[in-house]
Amino acid sequence: MSGKKFSLTTPIYYVNGLPHIGHSYSTIAADALARYHRLAGEAVYFQTGADLHGEKVQGAAEDAGETPAHFAARVSDIWQSTWDRLDIRYDRFIRTTDADHRRAVAKIANAIHDAGQIEFREYEGLYCVGCERFLTDRDTKDGLCRDHETKPEARREANYFFKMSEHFDWLARELERHPELIEPERYRNEVLAMIREGSGLEDLCISRPKERLSWGIELPFDSNYVCYVWFDALVNYLSGCGWPDKPDWEARWRACTHLIGKDILKPHGVFWPTMLHAAGLPLFRGLRVHGHWQVEARKVSKSLGNMIDPLRMKARYGFEPFRYFLLREMSFGLDGSFNEDAMIERANAQLSNALGNLLSRTLNMTARYCEGVVPEPDDDGPDETVLRDACAAAATAVDHHLRRFELHRALEAVFQLVDAANRYIDRREPWKAARTAARAGELRTTLASACRALRSIGLLLAPFLPEASAELLRRLGLGDALRNARLPDDAARWNMLIPGTPTSKGDALFPRLERQDDD
Ligand code: ME8
């Protein structure tokens, strides 16, 4: 271990629905990043989980004819097992019903209360159950919630309020001083606009009377109320790091980055940092915000039935083409568009053709001309130098982009190396060299160099396509490579393949896909 720490969280998803393409993207992106940082030798903590409380879940439980506790636990199990079946390597799947989380919520509520930052007030406003909050003028359009396009309810209640607006000046200064807190930049600007005077964002109602909502964590200073679901949910990030009891919570917490979709920028960009500040706690390291997926050019929604079940994608095409498409297609921070035909096209062009062919022709020729073992190369010539530099450049680019959460750019860099390796083979034409005994050295050098490039590609693909990368490396005779690898440096190394290492051809790494509609 380098001693460097990297903690990463996904949102904890509401259990009134099931995982769809949007949740899959956040979780897969986080998994790829966590895998990369592990391969870089860092101490990684990766957390995902489920948000079980609140009116939405209580309503869904009623519709299902179950108690909220039973319903929420049952659906949380489905979420967790979905990620398990997709080989998402989280360190903890947190549930807001977990005992340590409940204790942490009570503790932070008390801390903010003790600091004189919570007030009891009568309030009247428009409430959107979809958002689980009172709306401001800016949140509505033609009398409807902008996000949910439903009519909010007029509600009058006595509730507890967190004096959030008192922290806006501090937050603005923090964001000016530390622009890296929220990236990409457009989202930092959005948060700054939200907290600017006149934006309509005020104090935060953090309680719900039990007569209206019983399914939640009781407020520690008034047993007639439960916590507002966001006030409870955001604390998962701290409780997951072991706050307040575990001795190492602070180191983990200070290394913590939250990965979220743009829909929940306000709670993460405004509620959460001000809550932490009011409680006298340090801020998270960063907030990284991605855009939204549309499916067949429409918003993802239950009523449209276009939610894209990741397990169904796995059953139809194998999981990695789907994983690849999500990570490669979406420019991190911007919206993306999913279309099954586009996914198939990308998989066939880039995975089957470019990468699959590179591997199969290299290993087929190695089998045919070099008895299936990595050949002994001569000294590098100009073509080898170009390829060697391309390996080093790809390793540097992957590291650079992943540290900035630009997963699409990192993948693009790996596939530039795939293209460079294919071009190298085309130019060297080893099949011609194989016809002349005098060119045996050239042939050996070409195939050894193609194997070296494939080794770099296999290592660099490990965070993105873990299964395919492990298989690719195994075929190169490097079954253990990932166990000991240290990225990015190991992927930039050229002379790491031992001549004489047995390779194996195997079947197509990525069989060509055809559209499947029947299930
Ligand atoms: O908001 N495109 O949970 P949630 C991309 N429980 N990502 C999407 C998406 C889309 N179309 N739809 C959803 C909640 N997501 C709260 C979070 S955290 C303390 C509490 C992803 O189930 C994206 O990450 O509605 C988004 O932020 C999240 O799912 C919302 O999940």
Residue-level pLDDT, tens digit, the chain, 519 residues: 558 999 999 999 999 999 999 999 999 999 999 999 999 999 999 999 999 999 999 999 999 999 999 999 999 999 999 999 999 999 999 999 999 999 999 999 999 999 999 999 988 889 898 887 888 888 899 999 998 889 999 988 899 999 999 999 999 999 999 999 999 999 999 999 999 987 888 899 999 999 989 999 999 999 999 999 999 999 999 999 999 999 999 999 999 999 999 999 999 999 999 999 999 999 999 999 999 999 988 889 877 888 999 999 999 999 999 999 999 999 999 999 999 999 999 999 999 999 999 999 999 999 999 999 999 999 999 999 999 999 999 999 999 999 999 999 999 999 999 999 999 999 999 999 999 999 999 999 999 999 999 999 999 999 999 999 999 999 999 999 999 899 999 999 999 999 999 999 999 999 999 999 866
* CA gap 222, 230 in Å, rounded: 18
Which residue is closest in CA terms to ligand 1's atom 23?
261
Distance CA 118, CA 111 (A): 10
What is the Cβ-side half-sphere exposure of residue 278, based on CA atoms within 13 angstroms? 29
Query: For this structure, is 148 an active site residue?
Result: yes
Atom of ligand 1 nearest to the CA of 293: 2
Name the active-site residue from 53, 56, 113, 145. 145
* Pairwise CA distance, residues 108 & 106, whole Å: 6
Burial class (CB in 10 A: 0-12, 13-18, 19+), 41: middle
Catalytic residue of the set 70, 141, 302, 432:
302
| Separation CA 434–CA 195 (nearest Å) | 69
Query: For 340-492, CATH number?
Result: 1.10.730.10
Q: Which residues line ligand 1 (CB under 6 A)?
A: 11-14, 22-23, 25-26, 51, 233-234, 236, 260-261, 263-264, 292-293, 300
Convert 225-260 into a string of H (helix), E (strand) and C (coil): EEECHHHHHCCHHHHHCCCCCCCCHHHHHHCEEEEE
Clarify whether 131 is annotated catalytic.
yes
Q: Domain 5-290 is in which class? A: alpha beta
Assess whether 128 carries a catalytic annotation.
yes
449 Cβ contact list (under 8 Å, min separation 6): 377, 380, 383, 384, 387, 388, 424
Active site residue 227: no
pTM, two decimal places:
0.96
Shortest-distance Cα residue to atom 13 of ligand 1: 22
| Ligand 1 atom at shortest distance from the alpha carbon of 267 | 19
- b/e burial code for range 146-167 (CB count within 10 A of at least 16 → b): eeeeeebeeeebebbbbbbbeb
Per-residue DSSP letter, 350: I
| Pair 327, 220: CB distance under 8 Å | no
CA dist 216 and 207 (Å) reads 10
Residue 205 pairs in a beta bridge with 161
The separation between the first and the last C-alpha atoms of the chain, rounded to the nearest angstrom, is: 45
78: Cβ–Cβ under 8 A, 6 or more apart, which residues?
18
Question: Using CA positions, which residue lies closest to atom 29 of ligand 1?
Answer: 23
Is-catalytic flag, 145? yes
What's the gap in Å between 52 CA and the centre of ligand 1?
14
> Are domains 5-290 and 340-492 of this chain identical in fold?
no
Residues 447, 433: Cα–Cα separation, whole Å: 11
Q: Are strands 222-227 and 286-290 parallel, antiparallel or unpaired?
A: unpaired
- Decide: 363 and 426 in contact? Cβ < 8 Å: no
3-state SS, one letter per residue, for 18-69: CCCHHHHHHHHHHHHHHHHHHHCCCEEEEEEEEECCCHHHHHHHHHHCCCHH
From 70, 151, 246, 299, the catalytic residue: 299
| Rounded distance between C-alpha atoms, residue 434 and residue 370, angstroms | 10
Q: Which of 113, 131, 167, 391 is catalytic?
A: 131
- Given the residues 5, 20, 37, 107, select the one marked as catalytic: 20
How many A from CA of 261 to the centre of ligand 1?
Answer: 6
> For residue 32, how far is its CA from the centre of ligand 1 (angstroms)?
18
Nearest protein Cα to ligand 1, atom 24: 261
Ligand 1 centre to CA of 177 (Å) is 28
Distance 19 CA to ligand 1 centre (A): 10
* Active-site residue flag, 23: yes
Dihedral over Cα of 174, 175, 177, 182: its sign: positive
| Residue ranges covered by each domain of the chain | 5-290, 340-492
Residue of 317, 302, 256 whose CA lies nearest to 510: 317
Tokens of 433: 């060299």
